[in-house]
Amino acid sequence: MSTTYTIDTATSRATPTPAPLKRLTVPAIRRRKGGEPLVMLTAYTVRTAQLLDPHCDMLLVGDSLGQVIYGLPSTVPVTLEMMAAHGAAVVRGSFHAVVVIDMPFGSYEGSPQQAFESAAYLLKQTGAAAVKLEGGEAMAPTVRFLSERGIPVMGHVGLTPQAVNVLGGYGARGKDEAEAAKIVADATAVADAGAFAVVIEGVMEPIAIRITDTVACPTIGIGASARCDGQVLVAEDMLGLFERTARFVKRYDDMAGRISAAAETYAAEVRARSFPGPEQIYPSRG
């Protein structure tokens, strides 16, 4: 059963009535190569999608939700069902951005046919426009297989979190010439196979610049270079909800501090019996 449905703005807490915006398309994103930089953030819930959507060209339902939402140690345990549920929520909460959903570990590596079945499930369940998968030359045949069958694919090279057990950690990639050359070859392979964009994560800057100058599709940097065709961050990192973040994260707010302060004030008022006040109760009319 599909998890897609329309929000009842009369009853939902997520009440803002959507503006009549025309949603961007995958071809429109691809045409932005070398143009105005593309803006991308992660989103996992309806309300977050509503708040980010007017400012973003793409919303990524990242498998980073495993860590951000579920407190898992890595993205490896994330399931297709988790991605489908959060993907549907983000689609319901957005009306402008292209919604891209991560394919979780184990859902696409086995064969192009497995990848097609997993991707088709995600798009049917959510209404999203595209999927993202990690990997380079080894995944190029899968990218081509999906693209030729009507499933837009965003690639992901460099630091690939699903391969953390092979990589041995989350450090920057491409520090030696051999690895740098492999990352460039990986990006070129998935772009040539039909990826409409490629995420470049956690690499030495010259690699990101070389890839951006080489491939025909837009590059989306995260810990890469301002020379990429766009940028993506985990929204919760950017908003300052976590104490520990990667070097490449810029905190644009201190939401953790603001939430903690609000909760502290609320707790003090409850304990002092000053909340609820007259404005928050229903007094007797008799």
In angstroms, rounded to a whole number, what is the distance separating the alpha carbons of residues 248 and 108? 28
284 labeled part of a ligand binding site: no
Active-site positions? 201
| Tokens describing residue 45 | 């819930």
Bridge partners of residue 199, in order along the sequence: 156, 220
63 labeled part of a ligand binding site: yes
Residue 121 vs residues 46, 133, 140, 163: alpha-carbon distances, Å: 20, 15, 21, 23
Count of other CB atoms within 10 angstroms of residue 275: 14
| Tokens describing residue 71 | 């407190």
Closest to 151 in 3D by CA, of 175, 180, 121, 107? 121
Q: Which residue has the tokens 């939902």?
A: 12
| Tokens describing residue 168 | 């041995």
Angle at alpha carbon of residue 204, lines to 198 and 209, rounded to 5°: 55
64 labeled part of a ligand binding site: yes
| Tokens describing residue 208 | 């990101």
Task: Tally the residues of the chain.
Answer: 286
Residue 122 vs residues 69, 74, 176, 214: alpha-carbon distances, Å: 19, 21, 37, 31
Q: Which helix (H) or strand (E) holds 184?
A: helix 177-192
- Cis before 20? omega within 30: no
Q: Which residue has the tokens 């979190």?
A: 161
User: Binding-site residues for Mg(2+), please?
Assistant: 63, 102, 134
User: Binding-site residues for 3-methyl-2-oxobutanoate, please?
Assistant: 63-64, 102, 132
